[in-house]
Structure 1
Amino acid sequence: MERNGDGDEENLQRAPTRVRSRPDPFLIVCKCFSVVVALTAFLCIAVNILSAVRSFKNGSDVFDGIFRCYTVVIAFFVVLAETEWGFIIKFSKILEYWAGRGMLQIFVAVMTRAFPDTSGKRKDLVLLQNIASYLLLACGVVYFISGILCIGFLKRARQNKEVSREQAAKDLEELERRREELEALLVQERV
């Protein structure tokens, strides 16, 4: 508290408090990895759609086409799990845990790699299948090992801490705004 020059009024001189929080580098890395996994899963979806269309066009590989359709659906769940959409996590609790996500990604990678074109007619499609499956396999292994090491638990704890910090900053800004409004009203009443 400081007295103003006249000495009869108390004037609270406060610097506006601004809470600046830097984003958590660990959470940024986790988000980037989620984007990589989602893009890899999209690649698996595209490759499996191309394989399914080719299988249905041939007519002789109907079972391979059906298998590819199932792979597309399951790969879509991998993408949805990476968005961490509340409905999906509530629907399938196993996807909340990184070891479960990793196993699902490994499963999709194996399904993408299964039934390669042995005739050698479509080498470009086989190459894309290999790239997509091995990328998703690597992501799945990273998720699985991280899940065993409880890195997912650490991520959720840091996310909760960040949400609490952001809410506290919003509450503080609201209180500051309200204080300024009340001070303005008080000044108007004195005049």
Structure 2
Amino acid sequence: MEEQRSREPDPPTPTARARTRPDPFLITCRCFSVITALAAVLCIAVNILSAFHSFNNGSDIFDGIFRCYTVVIASFVVLAETEWEFIMKFSKVLEYWTGRGMLQIFVAVMTRAYPEYLKDREELFLLQIISSYILLACGVVYFISGMFCIGMVKRARQKKEVSREQALKDLEELERRREELESLLVPGEA
């Protein structure tokens, strides 16, 4: 009986069966979040360059101050895209996609404001247009998705994924513990 038992292949472990593919919806959301964060970083860079240009010329100090405010607010956009728990705890409005989209649209409009003085610096003007329209598009997508409660669907799927991962860890721990106990039960194998 012992020989027959040792020849039989082991049944697949529950952890091998329980592993599933990552959720494509969550992967899409993460990719979009990265694109939005990169657009916000580009807006930050453009506004820093514009502020430096404004302060350096001394021609328009108010525009330089406006650009500094835009950098601060665009930094909130980047932090919101990381979905860092510390940030989300203090700014609940950024947890909802409509609020996040409105903030992104606001930063895009602020980045695009006052383009007249940049006509002589075409590369900065072009970067300003590109960054503001990309962030504007991301903001519109977030706003519309928020209106259709897609953010709520994402949070529910994230919660489900976290609970699934925790269940898999618990199952693996139980399997490891079972193997340890079985090795203690087998007599004479040392």
- Give me the TM-score of the superposition, normalised by structure 2: 0.91
| Aligned residues of 2:101 and 2:140 also touching (Cα < 8 A) | yes
Shift of 1:118: 3.9
- Of stretches 154-163 and 180-189 in structure 1, the one that deviates more from structure 2 is 180-189
Q: Distance in 2 between matches of 1:142 and 1:177?
A: 46
**Residue type of the partner of 1:16?**
T
| Deviation by residue 1:77-129 (Cα, 9 ceiling, x = unmatched) | 10000000001100100000000000000000000001113462112211111
Q: Hey, what does 2:13 align to over in structure 1?
A: 16
| Aligned residues of 2:40 and 2:135 also touching (Cα < 8 A) | yes
Taking only aligned residues, the RMSD between alpha carbons, in angstroms, comes to: 2.0
Shift of 1:189: 8.0
Q: Hey, what does 1:10 align to over in structure 2?
A: none
| Deviation by residue 1:118-172 (Cα, 9 ceiling, x = unmatched) | 4621122111111111110000000000000000000000001111111111111
Q: Hey, what does 2:102 align to over in structure 1?
A: 103
Q: Percent same amino acid at aligned positions?
A: 73
What runs of 5+ residues in structure 2 fail to find an aligned partner? 5-9
Q: Distance in 2 between matches of 1:119 and 1:45?
A: 16
Paired residues for 1:33-44 under 5 Å: 33-44=32-43
The change in CA–CA distance for 1:62 and 1:119 in structure 2 (over 3 A counts) is same
Q: Distance in 1 between matches of 2:102 and 2:125?
A: 23
Q: Hey, what does 2:150 align to over in structure 1?
A: 151
Structure 1 SS opposite 2:126: helix
Q: Hey, what does 1:139 align to over in structure 2?
A: 138
Q: Which has the higher contact order (CA 8 A, sep 6+)?
A: 2
Q: Between Structure 1 and Structure 2, how many residues are aligned? A: 185
- Give me the TM-score of the superposition, normalised by structure 1: 0.91
Q: Distance in 2 between matches of 1:128 and 1:165?
A: 43
Q: Hey, what does 2:29 align to over in structure 1?
A: 30
Q: Hey, what does 1:125 align to over in structure 2?
A: 124
Q: Distance in 2 between matches of 1:141 and 1:190?
A: 66
Shift of 1:5: 5.7
**Residue type of the partner of 2:13?**
P
**Residue type of the partner of 1:132?**
S
Q: Hey, what does 1:116 align to over in structure 2?
A: 115
- Specify which structure has the higher proportion of helix: 2
